[in-house]
Amino acid sequence: MKPRIALVTGGIGGLGTEICRYLARSGHRVIAGDLGSRTDRVEQFRREVAEHSDTIHFESLNVADHAGCTADLARIEADHGPISVLVNAAGITRDTSLRKMSVQQWDDVITVNLSGVFNTCRAVVDGMTERGYGRIVNISSVNGQTGQFGQTNYSAAKAGMHGFTMALAREVARKGVTVNSVSPGYCETALVMAVPETVRNQIIANIPVGRLGKPSEIARVVDFLCAEESAFITGANIPVNGGYFMDF
């Protein structure tokens, strides 16, 4: 059987890179989609995944622009084949309290983190339902469940992803397509390292496991949801946060 094509948006990021590795190991042909303008990071990514150079490929993709994203995905499918697995891991932060937040900071985060998910899903969902198979995993955040000081934009986008996930899960449930979200807590990524050290240490002190998460601890859950055998899990949100937020 030909390997399934998995697209990971934000694929060269902290979580994205590790998700690419896991999906490659589980037999997918993986496309890491990210901004082509990040040339230094792209080169570093290629070195980091060199052992999977046959199965992990970088493609330029801007999820923030609807027309551009649609065109990018059409090109990727023409070059590599139909996308069966979509992991939406592209995300940015523009942290500041609401009283200081500019319209630009609001729009940037909503456009990439939430509209980006619409743009990618809109482009691939018809193909998935027509072929009767698909796995969509949206990378949300614990801060979409709890809210976070300085993140009205980010928390709104990440909470919005849950609603999107549940709604789309219902629409495609009978067509062999599952849609789930994973909500990472604070992990060892550049996004978290950008938080001022004193604030970060306070956050770590409140994580019951007592440390930041490793990207691999997120990636294995994503890979699990992307497996063919996970067909009965849909519309779910899986928290992976070291006990930082527990819900029933």
Which residue sits closest to ligand CAA, CB atoms considered?
A: 150
Residues that bind ligand CAA (CB under 6 A): 93, 95-97, 99-100, 141-143, 148-151, 154, 186, 191-192, 195-196, 199
Tell me the torsion sign for CA atoms 84, 124, 42, 141. negative
CB of 116 to ligand CAA, least distance (A): 15
> Do 231 and 178 touch, CB atoms closer than 8 A?
yes
Q: How far is the CB of 160 from ligand CAA (least distance, A)?
A: 14
**CB 149, min distance to ligand CAA, A:** 3
User: Minimum distance between the CB of residue 59 and ligand CAA, rounded to whole angstroms?
Assistant: 25
H/E stretch holding 177 reads strand 177-184
Residues 9, 11: Cα–Cα separation, whole Å: 5
Q: Is 154 a catalytic residue?
A: yes
> In the sheet where 29-34 sits, what is the strand order?
56-60, 29-34, 5-9, 83-88, 134-139, 177-184, 237-240
Taking the least distance from each CB to ligand CAA, the nearer of 1 and 196 is: 196
| Candidates 22, 133, 154, 186; catalytic one | 154
Query: Do residues 87 and 139 touch, judged by C-beta distance below 8 A?
Result: yes
Nearer to ligand CAA, 147 or 235 (CB): 147
CB-CB neighbours of 61 under 10 Å: 28
Compare residues 46 and 94 and give the one whose CB is closer to ligand CAA: 94
Q: How far apart are CA 14 and CA 214, in angstroms?
A: 10
**Which CB, 11 or 215, lies closer to ligand CAA?**
215
- Residues with catalytic roles: 154
